[in-house]
Structures are given as structure tokens and as C-alpha cells.
């Protein structure tokens, strides 16, 4: 009974919209929106415009229900990235589950200036905060900015590499991504060989 009433209501609503011409106006919008919503629900790739992203800034977005960060590293941030063995648990990104092959380099990225990470602490899953100030040595005399997880004190550098002596055991994860052009990134798709050749 309930079902019949609902069907009648929908039929009458559609008839009303058609007769007034409203449906024809709304249709392009509705037909555009529905697949997009479905794609997002299924974790489809997300295209991001980074043209307004300035040095030291971060864009936050969600992909596959996970927080994703896109950061434009300043020259100072890039220059500060090092591979010193004792300082980091995995300086050479040898844990293969933490980044695609294209990000197994010093900067853990396709381009030194753009860092893309999942914003999830590799200890117990909290969301670390971004500490962009290089001089921020308020937490200890070794760490000089990057990402800090307040839950249990894990620290990561500006490439997402985890420091030694903290609870987190792995570097922050790099998701698959590719550049469409200098100002556009697609999260959730792997780069072409050409993109990888231009990697750091």
C-alpha cells in the first residue's frame, strides 16, 4: 500500500515537472550530477586544480574516504629533505606498501615541489598535523617541521618519512596520482611512463 502511494506521488510529480517544462530545464543538471555522485561513492579518481597552491601551502581532499594532502614544498623544505640512515626508520622508502614505485626517490614524489600523501598516521590511524615552519624545533632539537601526530608523538619530515624513536613504524603513504599538466593532478591514477621519466 505504502509502495503504491509512493509510486503515485512520483508519477504525479514527474507529470507536473514535465507539464511545466521544469524537468527539461533540470535534466542536464541532474544527468550530470548522478554519475559524478556514483563515481565518488565508488572511489573514482579525483582531478584537482593546484594552480593557486602557494609555496608551503596544503590542499585537503577526500579520496576513497581517506584524507589526501597535496602540498607545494618551498625551496627550504625541499633542501631540508635528507636520507640520513639513523634519523629515519625507512630513509630509502624500502617498505613497498607505502608508496608506488614512482615515489621511491629522495622526495617521495613525481616532482620535488609537489608532495601528495595520505593524511593518516601509520601508527594507529590518527590525522597528523602539518607543521610547515622549518624553524619549528619546539618539539625536540632534531625535528624541524613536517608532520606531527599528537596522538602518541610520531614525527614525519617534509617527504612523509617517519623519524626513528617514535611509535609510527612506516612512512606516510603516497597514493597513486599523476599530473595532467603543471596545474592539474589526478588522485587515484598512475602516471604514464613519460611522467615517471620527469620524476625526481
Tell me which residues touch ligand FES (CB under 6 A): 121, 123-126, 149, 151-154, 167-168
- The nearest distance, CB 175 to ligand FES, in angstroms, is 18
* Residue number, 17 or 151, with CB nearest to ligand FES: 151
Strand, coil or helix: 46: strand
Helix (H) or strand (E) holding 37: helix 22-41
- In whole angstroms, give the CA distance from residue 195 to residue 192: 5
131 and 147 Cβ atoms separated by less than 8 Å: yes
- In whole angstroms, give the CA distance from residue 69 to residue 186: 13
- The nearest distance, CB 143 to ligand FES, in angstroms, is 13
* Residue number, 53 or 166, with CB nearest to ligand FES: 166
- The nearest distance, CB 162 to ligand FES, in angstroms, is 10
145 and 134 Cβ atoms separated by less than 8 Å: yes
58 burial level (CB within 10 Å; 0-12, 13-18, 19+): middle
* Residue number, 99 or 154, with CB nearest to ligand FES: 154
- The nearest distance, CB 128 to ligand FES, in angstroms, is 7
* Residue number, 154 or 179, with CB nearest to ligand FES: 154
Amino acid at each position: 500500500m505504502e509502495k503504491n502511494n509512493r509510486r503515485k506521488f512520483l508519477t504525479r510529480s514527474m507529470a507536473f515537472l514535465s507539464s511545466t517544462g521544469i524537468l527539461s530545464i533540470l535534466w542536464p543538471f541532474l544527468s550530470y550530477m548522478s554519475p559524478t555522485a556514483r563515481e565518488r561513492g565508488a572511489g573514482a579518481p579525483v582531478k584537482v586544480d593546484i594552480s593557486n597552491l602557494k609555496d608551503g601551502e596544503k590542499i585537503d581532499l577526500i579520496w576513497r574516504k581517506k584524507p589526501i594532502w597535496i602540498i607545494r614544498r618551498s625551496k627550504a623544505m625541499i633542501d631540508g629533505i635528507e636520507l640520513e640512515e639513523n634519523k629515519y626508520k625507512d630513509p630509502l622508502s624500502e617498505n613497498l606498501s607505502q608508496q608506488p614505485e614512482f615515489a621511491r626517490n629522495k622526495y617521495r614524489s613525481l616532482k620535488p615541489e609537489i608532495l601528495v600523501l595520505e593524511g593518516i598516521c601509520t601508527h594507529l590511524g590518527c590525522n597528523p598535523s602539518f607543521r610547515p615552519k622549518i624553524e619549528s624545533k619546539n618539539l625536540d632539537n632534531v625535528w624541524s617541521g613536517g608532520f606531527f601526530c599528537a596522538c602518541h608523538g610520531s614525527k614525519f619530515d617534509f617527504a612523509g618519512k617517519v623519524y626513528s624513536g617514535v611509535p609510527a613504524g612506516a612512512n606516510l603513504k603516497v597514493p597513486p596520482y599523476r599530473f595532467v599538466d603543471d596545474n592539474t593532478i589526478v588522485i587515484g591514477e598512475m602516471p604514464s611512463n613519460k611522467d615517471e621519466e620527469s620524476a625526481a
